[in-house]
Structure 1
Amino acid sequence: MSQRPEVNRRFVLAERPNGPPDENTLRLEETGVPRPGDAQMLLRTEYLSLDPYMRGRMNDAKSYATPVAIGEVMTGQVVAEVVESNLDGFAPGDHVLAASGWQDYAVSDGTGVMPLGTAPENPSWALGILGMPGYTAYAGLLKIGRPKPGETVVVAAASGPVGATVGQIARLKGCRVVGVAGGAEKCAHVTGTLGFDACIDHRAEDFAARLAAACPDGIDVYFENVGGKVLYAVLPLLNPFSRMPVCGVVSWYNLAGLPEGPDHGPAIMGTILRMKVKVEGFIIFDSFPQSVYEEFRADMTGWIAEGRVQYKEHVVEGLEAAPAAFNDLLAGRNFGKMVVKVA
């Protein structure tokens, strides 16, 4: 870079949302670009990952991670280029995976940073199929769901980065795979491109009946990342000793309180009891040993090279577009892994 940058744009949490984030939730600020000190480096964000977990980090509630503080840069993983470096092992021009958040520039001491080389072929894939979403799908399905050949696996949000990967891995393991997605275009992608056996549109008035027809032998593994009406339609179809890895419940993230309508608690807990269902929630960062991540990287890299796993991105241009794109993600209006091209 011929001239040192002077302005850093960043989104900070201005107030905690009550329901969906709105124009008052995040505030765009301009500050000076920080200078790296001893044993530090300056990173320039190229791609920002948008993920459902970010909604929970906006709340001041007990969780697996500390909430984002008011006035703090909104959290998020990025692919960045090293601009300046006083840190051994990192040089200008290197690309890295870092947790720099929603901003153009950040200073890092290297903690939690993963090198990606000087010219990664698909840098943003480190935020998706080769990163957290891909690893979530792999570990959650294989280590908790433990699918067996011939079993039926149902995947919510099947066109998204986690669901799409779960279903393709389940197919590689010899399972019948039924996806759930929103709209004909997404369902066509799930069956035509990703190779699922069926995909049911959750917007259909007779969604529950269609799901039941697509699962004549019941459901052995339900990979849960949505909750809501999809979960309620799955419950009566669960087989004895079925497994339910739970990595998210995005349909409930914007609720300000308990959902309206009937209390589904008895149906949920009763089904878990009668069908001996194994339900296990997991957070990918701390639920599995490092050896599982190494298995994932080796397997996924090979499957992609062999053309056995397909991947779709939804790229949004410009940091200023991130808040609207995040709301689109929470509402299911994305088609593939949502990333913001910042630089």
Structure 2
Amino acid sequence: MPTNKQIHLDNRPQGEATAGNFKLVTSETPALQEGQVLVRHHFLSLDPYMRGRMNDAKSYAQPQPLGQVMGGGTVGEVAESKSPKYQVGDKVVGMGGWQEYSVASADQPGALRKVDTTHVPLSHYLGAVGMPGVTAWYGLVKIIEPKAGQTVVVSAATGAVGSAFGALAKARNCRAVGIAGGAEKCKYAVEELGFDACIDYRQHADAASLSKAIKEACPGGIDGYFENVGGMVLDAVMMRLNAFARIALCGMIAGYDGKPMPMSYPQLLLTNRVKLEGFIVSEHMDIWPEALKELGTLVATGKLRPRETIAQGIESAPEAFLGLLKGRNFGKQLVKLV
């Protein structure tokens, strides 16, 4: 059996996460039992939610146990199979974690899913046609429920979730406005992702300045907002919401280091009769087939052109993850293992 390099969570962060929280471990892959499959990972997904799991605190996800493989999404191919459901060479997506190989039970619901790479590259099943894409779909379709002509806004617009959100919004004839960090990201949002406008929050020192820029990009106000960031960005958007606006609350990356994130204008939730709903996409598995079908079509037809930032080798995962939390990635952050 092949040797397997893994990244474990070695200790919990005190404030900001560091590379010292992680540990590289080499182990042997176990012999397969009947009904099991050995998967060689080609790509590993890095996602902001993983930062919350590093803390031993109450959250929507169980804390990541110390001394065990960091959890995370993976795509790869079946290297060995003791199940009639999977053949060697099958391309699969699963939750194999931060390691080069994983063993999965073929009979466990949701453990593995075969994917077709004819029109959609394998790596995109961790981004646009995977959990991030379905996250964007659920927030837009089920919570914001936009009508044609309405204005919808998304923070972290060029990330894996935000880029899918833009394509899905344009497919519904909405005005799509992004908020992103840096001129290059904003240019990509408009020219390649099809956003009607994109605002560089790094050009603004406070919520009032950012809100003024949002007003110029959204002259008719905001009907729906998809939140990935929180903090100053949320304060700025709140000042531009229309009556009966809907907010899909997916992430609060500005607060992932554990510091409090006060809201400046909570009274606007009442003034504008805002519907705000937080959600975790893994709790809505019933909508995944419909969402993945639409997302796969958008990618295959070139209407969604996701970008990826790819780190090389399992050893690079911790630093790539820390860079993701600082917004250094462009599009979906992946680690290439093969």
User: What is the TM-score with the length of structure 1 in the denominator?
Assistant: 0.92
* 1:258 lines up with 2:254 in the alignment: no
Report if the CA contact (8 A) 1:95-1:119 is conserved.
no
Report if the CA contact (8 A) 2:37-2:81 is conserved.
yes
**1:207 is aligned with what amino acid?**
L
Structure 1 alignment gaps of length 5 or more: none
Q: Which residue of 1 aligns with 2:238?
A: 235
State the superposition RMSD in angstroms.
1.6
Q: Which residue of 2 aligns with 1:298?
A: 293
Q: Which residue of 2 aligns with 1:274?
A: 271
Indicate which of 215, 224, 228 corresponds to 1:212: 215
**2:142 is aligned with what amino acid?**
K
For residue 289 of structure 1, report the CA deviation from its aligned partner. Answer: 5.1
Q: Distance in 1 between matches of 2:333 and 2:59?
A: 24
Q: Distance in 2 between matches of 1:150 and 1:51?
A: 32
Q: Which residue of 1 aligns with 2:161?
A: 162
Q: Which residue of 1 aligns with 2:224?
A: 221
Indicate which of 76, 85, 101 corresponds to 2:97: 101
1:152-191 matches, cutoff 5 A? 152-191=151-190
Q: Which residue of 2 aligns with 1:249?
A: 252
For residue 309 of structure 1, report the CA deviation from its aligned partner. Answer: 2.1
For residue 120 of structure 1, report the CA deviation from its aligned partner. Answer: 7.8
Q: Which residue of 1 aligns with 2:197?
A: 198
Q: Distance in 2 between matches of 1:122 and 1:137?
A: 19
Report if the CA contact (8 A) 1:8-1:104 is conserved.
yes
Report if the CA contact (8 A) 2:134-2:291 is conserved.
yes
For residue 47 of structure 1, report the CA deviation from its aligned partner. Answer: 0.5
Deviations 1:63-110 (A, max 9, x none): 222111110110001012211111221122112111110011121112
Report if the CA contact (8 A) 1:34-1:42 is conserved.
no
Report if the CA contact (8 A) 1:14-1:70 is conserved.
yes
Question: Which deviates more, 37-46 or 222-231?
Answer: 37-46
Q: Which residue of 2 aligns with 1:82?
A: 78
For residue 307 of structure 1, report the CA deviation from its aligned partner. Answer: 2.4
Structure 2 alignment gaps of length 5 or more: none
Indicate which of 311, 319, 326 corresponds to 1:316: 311
Deviations 1:226-255 (A, max 9, x none): 111110101111111000001111111123
Instruction: Give the total of aligned pairs.
Output: 331
Q: Which residue of 1 aligns with 2:57?
A: 61
Report if the CA contact (8 A) 1:35-1:107 is conserved.
no
Q: Percent identity?
A: 44
For residue 118 of structure 1, report the CA deviation from its aligned partner. Answer: 8.4
CA distance 1:67–1:130, change in 2 (3 Å) = same
**2:85 is aligned with what amino acid?**
G
CA distance 1:234–1:34, change in 2 (3 Å) = same
Report if the CA contact (8 A) 2:135-2:161 is conserved.
yes
Q: Distance in 2 between matches of 1:22 and 1:197?
A: 37
Question: Which deviates more, 300-309 or 157-166?
Answer: 300-309
For residue 340 of structure 1, report the CA deviation from its aligned partner. Answer: 0.6
Q: Distance in 2 between matches of 1:118 and 1:129?
A: 14
